[in-house]
Structure 1
């Protein structure tokens, strides 16, 4: 049996029990893929993140309860939070090697972290899966897509907040998931994110989804710096910026748990 440290962090929030929780597991060497997936399934959080130090940076991988994913914002922020607050990291910048390339995280002030991720502008589509609008319970509306997610634009924040999707039907539409967004009342834009295809009905706060929404809203609102709220039950708050072909997302993290995995290797 081997003991491995694990932390649980609420990301994109300054308050415990807000934002999006992620389990963070630092490793000296990689575990078997099947074991990492089993740990993520056992945690039953939207993401469990594993990372290994290599060649002056960190290699990072993210797992939902059902699958490994190519990009995750809140779990990356949670990892940076643990590196700075628990593992003695002191440099100005953290570099993570990932399936989405090199990702950068800085801490402009204690407790605040800025993610530097690739922008993924969505493309408008004309063929809209009927099951998607039916599952969301909305009338025909603008729909966009990237190689990961669909993005549905609704007319108001209230329309986003009132959604009660049929997740079983929504899981049939393909892609990683469905983002629903609208102009906000107290922020530039709001969103909710649904990923039943990936084992998560609703993700509380989704950094990777903002790499899709930020280019769209920057063009629509004609501004590069914006405030965003993911209006899930737990709520998440992000300061975002479109910087060339990159999206900068800033938020806070709160440590909820420190523990130990006991696993057979």
Structure 2
């Protein structure tokens, strides 16, 4: 079986920056084991699988070790592929959770609409040991999204998390953030559980950071930089209960994926 495949660097204006994602187009859903095998073979941070449904697309996302319920950077990559190929202005992705994710053209790149993720002040006593520094404030929610506010951009850059400890705590997300210099906001994002790691550029984290920072900045839009080794730049804009995340994408590979069966 031959499947259309793209490797896209999302939230990047050049190759080998931003966050890599695979995009695989299917005629219909393959068994879960086949999707898992493809994602494991590709070894990208996330692979998006697309199935056409009338004027929309069903989407599922997988890492090499698990299925994701939400993946912002791979959704932006899907928009880049579909809008670039079909010439449309916007596309809707339908998730297994019943949400609709919209991607549209904007300012030379794309904007992605995600549900705003709200957090509340909530202590995490082990945060300092896990992250290597003590945050000024900790905000979290029941879905394992966490925001850890630091006093300066330099502190965020200097963080040295204990990834071994993070691998044993569950699939928590640690968005460590401060006011930025070249951008309004800077962050680094660490993900716990199996495969604990630093994420390159994280759409879902900015769906939580957007309402958090919009209140502090006193405005509904701002610029953001995720300070991973690869790095990535985003615009964040609140619109009701949705967050619009803007950025560019770069195609690194376009071709065919050969799958047994």
197-206 vs 26-35, which deviates more?
197-206
Q: Superposed, which structure 2 residues align to 1:99-248 within 5 Å? A: 99-100=96-97, 101-109=99-107, 111-126=108-123, 128-130=124-126, 132-139=127-134, 141-146=136-141, 147-197=143-193, 199-248=195-244
Report the CA distance shift for 1:148/1:57 in structure 2 as closer, same or farther (over 3 A).
farther
Deviation, structure 1 residue 195: 1.4
92-101 vs 51-60, which deviates more?
92-101
- Tell me the distance in 1 between the aligned counterparts of 2:198 and 2:51: 29
37-46 vs 173-182, which deviates more?
173-182
Of 248, 256, 260, which aligns to 1:260? Answer: 256
- Tell me the distance in 2 between the aligned counterparts of 1:200 and 1:7: 25
Of 61, 81, 86, which aligns to 1:89? Answer: 86
Q: In 2, are the aligned partners of 1:71 and 1:99 still within 8 Å (CA)?
A: no
Deviation, structure 1 residue 140: 5.1
Q: In 1, are the aligned partners of 2:166 and 2:192 still within 8 Å (CA)?
A: yes
Deviation, structure 1 residue 84: 2.2
193-202 vs 112-121, which deviates more?
193-202
100-109 vs 241-250, which deviates more?
100-109
Specify the SS of the correspondent of 1:84.
helix
Q: In 1, are the aligned partners of 2:191 and 2:197 still within 8 Å (CA)?
A: yes
Encode CA deviations 1:30-78: one digit per residue, 9 max, x unaligned.
1111111121122221101101011320001111111111111110111
Specify the SS of the correspondent of 1:49.
strand
- Tell me the distance in 2 between the aligned counterparts of 1:69 and 1:13: 22
In the other structure, the counterpart of 2:15 is 16
Q: Provide structure 1 residue ranges, at least 5 long, that are not aligned to the other structure.
A: none
**RMSD in angstroms over aligned alpha carbons?**
1.5
- Tell me the distance in 1 between the aligned counterparts of 2:189 and 2:131: 11
- Tell me the distance in 2 between the aligned counterparts of 1:18 and 1:140: 28
Q: Provide structure 2 residue ranges, at least 5 long, that are not aligned to the other structure.
A: none
- Tell me the distance in 2 between the aligned counterparts of 1:22 and 1:194: 18
Deviation, structure 1 residue 196: 3.5
- Tell me the distance in 2 between the aligned counterparts of 1:72 and 1:3: 25
Q: In 2, are the aligned partners of 1:176 and 1:195 still within 8 Å (CA)?
A: yes
In the other structure, the counterpart of 1:45 is 44
- Tell me the distance in 1 between the aligned counterparts of 2:135 and 2:245: 30
TM-score normalised by structure 1 residue count: 0.93
Deviation, structure 1 residue 148: 3.4
